[in-house]
Each structure stands twice: as C-alpha cells, then as structure tokens.
Amino acid sequence: MPSSHCHPVAHRLGRLILAGLVASLLANPAATQTVPAADRTGATTAAASPLPEGSWRFIVSGDSRNCGDVVMPAIAAHSAQFAPRFYWHLGDLRAIYKIDEDIAFSNVNDGHTLSCESYHRLAWSDFISNQIGAFGDVPFYLGIGNHELILPKNEDAFQREFADWLDQPTLRRQRQLDKEPARPEPYYHWIQGGVDFIYLNNASDCFSDEQMRWLTRRLAEAKSDPAIKSVVVGMHEALPDSFASDHSMGDKEDEPQSLSSGVDTYRVLTEFRKHKPVYVLASHSHFFMENIYSTPKLTPKGADPLPGWIVGTAGAVRYALPDVRPAAPAKSQTDIYGYLLGTVSAGGTIQFSYEEIHAPDVPQYVWERYPAKAVLWCFQHNSQNKEPKAPDMTPRCEAPRVPACGSSK
C-alpha cells in the first residue's frame, strides 16, 4: 500500500506513541482499578425469561471501532442467554482514520508496533477474527458505515473483503427469490420469522436513486405478502430531522441529495406503516436513544412518528447526548456499551429493550490479549464526555472526506 496513505507525522511518531501506551495506562490512577479474575467470566448472572410460544429474539448494535475487539466479544457472551437468531451490525467496523486503540493495545502486548500502512492492511481482518469470530455459530449480518469509505478503503474493497457475509446463503437465496442480480450489494434484505429485515446503505450520506427504487419494490412486496407481518429497516446514519439530526443524514446542507433522499425514505416508510408495523434502527451516533423521530418537525398536529432507535454502542468512543432529547419515558444514555434486543411475537410485532454490558462481561480470553489495564481503559476512558479528557492514544492516519453520494467507489 502506498505510503501516501499514512500521515507523515503519524508515521514518524507512531512507534513512540505506541511504545508509550502501556506506560500511559499504568500512570493513570483511574485506570489502575482491577476486576477480579473470578468476575471476568463473560457470563451474565441473570437468566433470560422464557419466551411465549412462537416468539424469538435477535440483537443489533453498530459502531465497533476503537474498542470493539473488547466490547463485541462481551456482547456475544452476554447475549447468549437470549439465544438470538442473529446479530446485525449497523456499520463502522474500524476507525481507519486512526489506529484503533484495541488493535494498538494488543500489538503492544505482543511487542509489536504499527504503522498506518500495516494497520490498514490488518484492520478488517482483525474485525473478522475478533468481532465476527466472537459470535461463533450465531448468524452475523453486516452493514456498511461511513468509516468503511475512508481511504484507502472504499465500497468495492468492502464488498470484496466481506463477500462471504454479503453473499451468505440466506441473502443469496433471497436475491434468487426476488429475481435480482447475483452480485450482492451493500444494501440487502431477508425475510425471517414473518419479518422483512432491510438494510439500507447510506454510508456516503444518502440513498442512491437505484437503491430508492429497490426499496420501493421491496416495500410493495412486503405490503402484498401476507406472510410478512412487519418490517425492520436498519441503516448506519439516522434519517433527517431526528433528535440526532446534527450527526445524521440531516447534517449535510451542502449535499441536497443527502437530505432529500432521507426525507423521501421517511415519507415512504410512514406510508408503508399504514399497512404493517415498521421499525427503524440506526447507529452512527455513539450513544443509545429511543423514540428518535418524535421531534416537533416530524410530529406536526400530533402525527405519530416512526418508531426509531440509535444504538451506536458496540465499542466506539462515546459521544455527548444532544441538548434536546425525546421526552420521558423514552431513554437516552451515553457512556455505555451494549446492544438492542428485539423480541418478535408470534404475530410479528416487536418489542425492543436495551441490554448494557460491563467490564465483567468481557470474556477471560479477551482480558489475556491486552496489557492489564487496557480493557478497563475502554470502559473508563473511551469517551468524549470525561474530564479531564483522555489523550489521543494512537497515531492518526490520513482521513480524506468520505465520497459524496454516487461516488463511493
């Protein structure tokens, strides 16, 4: 990979920064707390309640950069009590614009240092080994996020690297049933247990015209198919005009297609909801929030908003909550990690709850991969909300702007 992909200063200082990681951890008094080995089981102490006949569960979260190699195995371990039918990742796998802290920590522990070039080569294979691999036999559905388009990565590279997941048998069979092209796209759907699960690709800040036509066809099919009881739509960035609109499809004033395609999608989903339930899931913002579309703009004259959630809590640096939030009892919370648990009834309606994970949920094998305090750093300091703010612990690599819609390849 050409050295131009690595910022010159980061390239020169990278070894010094990485070599000082362990010293920085140990010098931080707040990071010297420990979790007893006996409590590092990765197993939850609470048993999941039995499900009514015909019900089943799935789990969702997104944004697993920075500390995802620590948090995602904890999500896999904690969620096992619910026997989820699948896990759905809503995008942003690795940071790419900088070296993820978890990758840096593990390399320091092994006596290695990283340049930007070597990090870019291993970032996605690391995700496959340490995050997808943590879920074992649980089916893993993968969404694309904006960090998957930061150079030297792009959409074509994403499709090549993750072909086995974009073309897994369930999705391939669905394309065949739909009489769609054999080549998989980063937007897709599959029908399971009476629910149509649709992933939309807005990694480049909008929905392409082709994708909008595809969505229209999919919703028309779902409307007319009596076997489909409800629809769940997942995406990386939330639709415009939500409570997280300043970090969503609604924050691109210089890109009218971003705003217009998001507004059109909200309208199309609202129209579909007159016929069957629809639930809209996103990440991108690194906190948990429910009822995200119950804003004044989307609820004129008491209009019923789309049911929407943000769950960007799979390991990324935690963000501050917006000043204006959904009214109680809707929950908004940051400085947490966890996942959204969906419970599908026999009739196809879905109840969602948020499951938080903590340091003791991290499996023992993960603790052994890192310096003693690195796991606790992820829980105690991987946040933009802490004072004093933790230093930027890893080298930054060049981060060109994500391409505009229609030029993501």
Rg (CA), the chain: 21
Going by C-alpha positions, the residue among 41, 158, 3, 137 that lies closest to residue 94 is 158
Give the pLDDT confidence score for residue 407 in this predicted structure. 57
Distances (CA, A) of 16 to 4, 11, 114, 280: 20, 10, 10, 44
Is residue 376 in some structural domain?
Answer: no
pLDDT (tens digit per residue) in 349-397: 999 999 999 999 999 999 999 987 899 999 999 999 876 665 567 878 8
Contact criterion met (CB below 8 Å) for 306 and 270:
yes
CATH of the domain at 348: 3.60.21.10
∠ CA 377-379-380, nearest 5°, is 65
Mean pLDDT within 196-215: 95
Give the domain range for residue 90.
56-96+139-363
∠ CA 59-373-148, nearest 5°, is 45
pLDDT (tens digit per residue) in 167-188: 999 999 999 999 999 899 999 9
Identify the bridge partners of residue 142 per DSSP, sorted by sequence position.
Answer: 89
Is it the case that residue 400 has pLDDT exceeding 80?
no
**Structure tokens, 99:** 């070296």
Cis peptide before 152 (omega within 30 of 0): yes
pLDDT (tens digit per residue) in 294-303: 999 999 988 8
Is residue 174 in some structural domain?
Answer: yes
Is it the case that residue 269 has pLDDT exceeding 70?
yes
pLDDT (tens digit per residue) in 91-144: 999 999 999 999 999 888 777 778 999 999 999 999 999 999 999 999 999 999
Is residue 81 in some structural domain?
Answer: yes
* Residue where the block lists tokens 């080569």: 121
Is residue 399 in some structural domain?
Answer: no
Is residue 333 in some structural domain?
Answer: yes
Mean pLDDT within 66-71: 97
Distances (CA, A) of 91 to 14, 197, 253, 294: 27, 15, 23, 24
* Band of pLDDT at residue 9, cut at 50, 70 and 90: very low
Is residue 272 in some structural domain?
Answer: yes
**Structure tokens, 120:** 């870019």
Give the pLDDT confidence score for residue 391 in this predicted structure. 58
Is residue 163 in some structural domain?
Answer: yes
Q: What is the DSSP letter of 146?
A: G
Going by C-alpha positions, the residue among 71, 210, 93, 207 that lies closest to residue 149 is 93
How many domains are there within the chain? 1
pLDDT (tens digit per residue) in 131-152: 999 999 999 999 999 999 999 9
Is residue 188 in some structural domain?
Answer: yes
Identify the bridge partners of residue 396 per DSSP, sorted by sequence position.
Answer: 98
Q: What gap in Å lies between CA 300 and CA 71, rounded to an integer? A: 39
Mean pLDDT within 258-265: 89
Query: 78: burial class by Cβ within 10 Å (0-12, 13-18, 19+)?
Result: buried
